Structure 1
Amino acid sequence: MPIRVCVFDAYGTLFDVAAAARAAAQEPGAEGWAPRWPALSAHWRRKQLEYTWLRAVAGAHVDFWQVTQDALDWALEAEGLDDPALRQRLLDLYHQLAAFPEVARVLAALKAQGLQLAILSNGAPEMLDAAVHSAGIAPVLDAVLSVEDVGVFKPHASVYAMVGTRFGVQPSEVAFLSSNGWDACAAAAFGFHTIWVNRERAPMDRLHGQPAHVLADLAALPALLAQG
């Protein structure tokens, strides 16, 4: 079946998750901790993902904003940073994450090709709404789907099933894009035509599905999908 819907993971795929710590480190007064921003950002992202998996397995769901705060608290402690003002600034900046440079151009091209476009994310609805509007991409999106509608994080199959429910399509009619290898693999096992956006040049995860394609970023996506 031809691809009818193009679905994107949000954080790390469309939005740069390192942008909050990077921006905070460039602000006046940050000189004392600024050299550690890459480590802080990496800790924050790693714990954010780990907590989603652990909560999904344990059946102990909270929304992604709580997970994001918990992960940041761990990361700040790991880096020896006890600074409530910095914590708040980082959380504020997380609501305004920059989109990667090619995102707006690629989404416009896909829309011109007649595809429906959506986000499918662990993010809480208010987080996603803030990020989408901050990046200026809301007008081209047909849906922004949050796991809060099913109460469990990816890679639970019920999350991927939300796409078919919303758009009335079969999994094979969906192109799914994620920068997370584990997400791309799980979505492929669900039946999506999956493309891994391997921004970090990481090895392929050894899981129960494999993506159909691997891209370094989203720039080549319109041409790839135009091939059918």
Structure 2
Amino acid sequence: MIPDLAGVDGCRAGWIAWIRTAGSSAPDLRIYSRFADLVEDLGPDAVIAVDMPIGLPDRISGSGRGPEQAIRPFLGPRQSSVFSIPARVAVEAPNYGEACARALETSDPPKKVSKQAFFLFPRILEIDRLLQADKQLRSRVFECHPEFAFSRLNNGLAMQTPKKIKGKVNPAGIAERLEVLARHGFDCEAFRNGPPRGAAMDDVIDAAVNLVIAGRRAAGLTSTFPANPVADRHGIPIAIHG
């Protein structure tokens, strides 16, 4: 029997998720303020693909964690969508200045933290604490990167148009991604009403492609990047699936 599946992305309201429960004919779009509530809402074997870094190494060598370095070559013009996440001590720092200082100490070459990455830290730690507390979740909650997911579903070809331009949703970019989702069985009529309150259209699209990857993971059709991922000090695997 196919387990519950969820494709998740962060949004202004917290977390947006396309969820396909076992036996349902169509996915359901939901908003959660806490990731733990999402996990609790699903079956005990649910497979959850989330666009958020999972697994935090103690040191960084090169341009980010292993998964970030592994997927950038596949993304062509979309490489800038892959943020470099620093070492655990930087992510756990109480403020931006401290995060930059800790990142400089634990990276080679030394590198500070981008503001874009810093704003993700509370979300990263929200999932990280869950996976530290419940080892069983580590095989079911996994990291997915939407732009890489689209390239994997598009015969290895990266999307040619951005989802956003100068902070605004780009209709051409959305249309390009909807075409890929439709080819993989996602009924694009589900997007007709636009995003729910607290989310943007690109959040809805990203959660949708993550749902497709969750289904492929449940069917054994995905790979890990890098191919032989390591785990962090808590035993949490550091890999992007696609």
Higher RCO (C-alpha 8 Å, min separation 6): 2
TM over 0.5: no
TM-score (normalised: structure 1): 0.27
Higher helix share: 1
TM-score (normalised: structure 2): 0.26
